[in-house]
Amino acid sequence: MWWNKEKIYYYINAAEKSSFHENLASVIKPHIRENKIILDAGCGLGYLAAILKEEGYEIKAIDSDERVIKEAERIHKKPIFSVADAFKLTDVYETIILSFFGNIRENLDYFLSHVSGNLIYITSAHIGVVSDFRKDKSCDIDMFLASRNMKFKKEEYEFNFDQVLKSIDEAYDFMSITYSSSNISKLEKNEDEEFPFVIRNRKKIYVYVIEKEERT
């Protein structure tokens, strides 16, 4: 499992002090329908799913990690979360959201078999805060989808998802846990009494909206 106690702790702090998930929801909403059931597969701590539910969408959110589902239920207090394997689906949904989850080149056919409308695949083009290097594989995804004669839209965004921290010790701990690095050169002072330090993280995001009905 990717998640552990420390990663959950840092992610919650970042999410609660950021509009990252609200921004994601805002760019997804034009591609989903309120009166149809949506699945957030590999939902993690559930921030995106909870926002969409709050805004009136019929959404279910699953993750195979029991720990993060319990945390999602605790944080959001919404009856939309369950422990389940996204690769053992039995139902069909109008839309499946794959937010930083799965490999679309490996899993396209599987997830398409469980949607009646579209897949929304969200991926990042960077490797985090260790350097300014961006690892952009979107062209490979474009070529793959084109080779499959898929009808798809590709949208590009940049959103902040800064990591707030309570101490310099936390900065070292966060970098070690997340990036196996002790480099805190990007640590800045933050105007927040609870979290006086921050590591800025501007994420380049690609949102792919892949339509099922146009497959040939």
Strand partners, 83: 63
Return the beta strands (E) in 55-107 as ranges.
58-63, 81-83, 93-99
Amino acid 137: pLDDT: 82
How many Å from the N-terminal Cα to the C-terminal Cα in the chain?
A: 36
Burial of 71 (0-12, 13-18, 19+ CB in 10 A): buried
3-state secondary structure of 20: helix
Ordered structural domains, the chain, with CATH: 5-162+202-211 (3.40.50.150)
3-state secondary structure of 168: helix
- CB atoms < 10 A from the CB of 118, how many? 25
Amino acid 136: pLDDT: 75
Q: Are the CB atoms for 190 and 196 separated by under 8 Å?
A: yes
Q: Are the CB atoms for 174 and 199 separated by under 8 Å?
A: yes
**Which residue matches tokens 């469980």?**
114
215: pLDDT strictly greater than 50: no
What tens digit of pLDDT does each residue of 135-192 get?
Answer: 678 999 999 999 999 999 999 999 999 999 999 999 999 999 988 889 999 999 999 9
Q: Report the distance separating Cα 97 and Cα 37, nearest Å.
A: 11
Q: Are the CB atoms for 1 and 83 separated by under 8 Å?
A: no
Q: Are the CB atoms for 19 and 190 separated by under 8 Å?
A: no
What's this model's pTM, rounded to 2 decimal places? 0.93
What tens digit of pLDDT does each residue of 34-90 get?
Answer: 889 999 999 999 999 999 999 999 999 999 999 999 999 999 999 999 999 999 999
Q: Give the type of residue at 59.
A: I
Q: Please, which residues have CB within 8 angstroms of residue 197's CB and are 6 or more apart in sequence?
A: 164, 165, 166, 167, 168, 170, 171, 187, 188, 189, 190
216: pLDDT strictly greater than 70: no
214: pLDDT strictly greater than 90: no
